A and B are shown apart, each in its own frame.
Chain A
Amino acid sequence: MAEVLVLVDHVDGEVKKVTYELLTAARRIGEPSAVVVGEPGTAGKLAEGLAAYGAAKVYAAESEQAGRFLVTPQVDVLAQLVDSASPAAVLVPASIDGKEIAGRLAVRLGSGLLSEVVDLDAEGVGSHSLFGGTFDAKAKVTRGTPVITVLPGAVEAEQAAGAAATEQVEVAGVDEAKAAKITGRQPAEAGDRPELTEASVVVSGGRGVGSAESFEVVEKLADSLGAAVGASRAAVDSGYYPHQFQVGQTGKTVSPQLYIALGISGAIQHRAGMQTSKTIVAVNKDPEAPIFEIADYGVVGDLFQVAPQLTEEITKRKG
């Protein structure tokens, strides 16, 4: 069976969930080989998890330089492995780094690229969701080794035993004149809440929340549901909540089981990031707010009355 290269997303010696989703998708096409690019000693810590999701091989491409340059170390390693292993495809997480790595790799290989697929079949046909979920398209690569980025959370990760036979990869030095040096890092505060794009419940607040302090109302509801917190661009622009939590056209795309919108009007650009959610609940004091057009359940009312009551009811039920 042909190899399929999967670029492993990892942080602090732990595999990120999207990697397991990619390994699952890769098994439909061939035999997954996990590619770990990191500092010496990284692959060893990750191997067990990779084996549990079906990695037949683990390529350990370890070097001191891996964490010191942006994106190019991963591109170099993948290009080298495509050359030596002639894989059926290369799968990369559709994160910001991942999309850039995949783009550069496709340029270097002269390959076709599928970006942000939400599903992948055995023939390598990828499904795309376009324009904020209003259009579906299917596409396949017609030139070279397919390079495919897969949207986090789109494919359900399934366990499968893999040998995870580790192979050390000789890493060539980074061409420093062509790369940007990483001179500092401030990792995002993970906190106790689930990640926005991975959460099965998301509670978002908009301009209607009114201030950074009152976002507490949104957070309390989120915590009662074990949910992630999101925000509209108006809320972010007004300084109520940090930018990395923006949902929408130019923010995150989320597709949880349940999305609760508090004080959000439902502008088309906000809907673009959340309208594929399975169930949508909206609270807004304006009965004409467009969010109600896509809400499965809408309450016309003051979020400062409705949300705390909802939080209390949920806590009671759990109690």
Chain B
Amino acid sequence: MNIVVLVKQVPDTYSERKLSEADHTLDRESADAVLDEINERAVEEALQIKEAQGGEVTVLCMGPDRATDAIRKALSMGADAAVHVCDEALHGTDALGTARVLAAAIGTVDSVDLVIAGNEATDGRSGAVPAMVAELLGWPQLTYARKVEVEGSTVRVERETDAGIVSLEAAAPAVVSVTEKINEPRYPSFKGIMAAKKKPVTTLGLAEVGVDAAVVGLSGAGSQVVSSAPTPPKSAGEKVTDEGQGGVAIVEFLAGQKLV
């Protein structure tokens, strides 16, 4: 089973994140960049399937130059190869343009049976790129999986949402996305980190993946941000130490706020 894992480099959730004042795009310089945690789980799931059934795991990332760090991390976990779509023209691309680029780039990898993505990125949180990629490829989507099973060319997942759990089934090739509950990702070993340095990374520009520049970048976006600003931060209120009457004190506070 040949698997492509979609990985994204995102600002570390531990650091302050903001939009740039110039063009309202994500200010990638202001925060540390890391491989999104959910994508480590996507890589882990792909490796487990490969270990059980054989095949190749290729990671695919669309992002600026420094996204190579995220790609190396995925390779050091055990992925075999990587495709990095990197082009100046991609700055400011929306979810639709991203899905177009990813779908086209998947087409550059030989005989793909399965695409595995994270359910939702921690920066954009659009939660829709995997579904959009499925739409573009014309493949079934088995998304928000907390469990994945591959048997021959049949893919089964347990999808977990607010509505409950839904069992899904489809034939490969298919697009899967995984949630936080799917697995615990492995740590890269020292050997893995060394080996990753020698693994092939194919860097492609927009023209090479064959996507029209008119549908990417800020100008190609189907929507436009008209204004953005930081929300005034919330400040601390009163703090008391419980000396046996803490619960009563809270009720008095709530009553004062007309909340009880």
**A residues adjacent to B (C-beta < 8 A):** 11, 70-71, 75, 95-97, 99-104, 106-108, 110-116, 125, 129-131, 133-144, 177-188, 195, 197, 201, 225, 233, 243-244, 249-250, 257-258, 268-269, 272, 275, 279-281, 283, 287, 292-302, 305-314, 317
Contact = CB atoms under 8 A, between A and B. Distances in A.
Interface stretch (B42-50, B196-204, B241-249): B241-249
Q: Taking each of B95, B138, B236, which has the highest tally of chain A beta carbons within 10 Å of its own beta carbon?
A: B236
B223 A114 contact: yes
B153 interface: no
B96 A106 contact: yes
A138 B229 CA distance: 9
Contact of A180 (B18, B174, B237, B257): B174
Contacts of A106: 96, 132, 222
A310 B250 CA distance: 7
A306 B246 CA distance: 5
A180 B131 contact: no
B167 interface: yes
A244 B235 CA distance: 29
B236 A140 contact: no
Q: Which of A103, A112, A185, A257 has the most CB of B within 10 A?
A: A103
A125 B226 CA distance: 9
B2 interface: no
B165 interface: yes
Given A100-B128, A103-B95, A305-B246, A297 B253 contact: yes
Contact of B250 (A182, A257, A281): A281
B126 A103 contact: yes
Contacts of B231: 129, 133-136
B contacts with A: majority SS: mixed
B226 A300 contact: no
A9 to B, nearest CB: 9
B66 interface: no
Interface string B194-224: 0000000000000000000000000001111
A142 B95 contact: no
A299 B240 contact: yes
B144 A268 contact: no
Nearest to B16: A134
B152 interface: no
A186 B237 CA distance: 43
B239 A295 contact: yes
B166 A184 contact: yes
Contact of A113 (B96, B170, B248, B257): B96
Given A100-B141, A243-B181, 9 more contacts: A97-B161, A113-B223, A279-B259, A287-B239, A293-B236, A297-B239, A299-B241, A300-B239, A313-B247
B184 to A, nearest CB: 10
A136 B13 contact: no
B201 to A, nearest CB: 28
B236 A183 contact: no
Contacts of A103: 95-96, 99, 126, 128-129, 131-132, 135
B163 A178 contact: no
B221 A112 contact: yes
A187 to B, nearest CB: 4
13 contacts: A95-B161, A96-B162, A115-B127, A136-B230, A136-B231, A195-B162, A243-B180, A250-B37, A275-B234, A281-B253, A298-B238, A313-B250, A317-B255
B61 interface: no
Contact of B95 (A113, A195, A299): A113
B21 to A, nearest CB: 12
A136 B228 contact: yes
Nearest to A112: B222
A258 B127 CA distance: 27
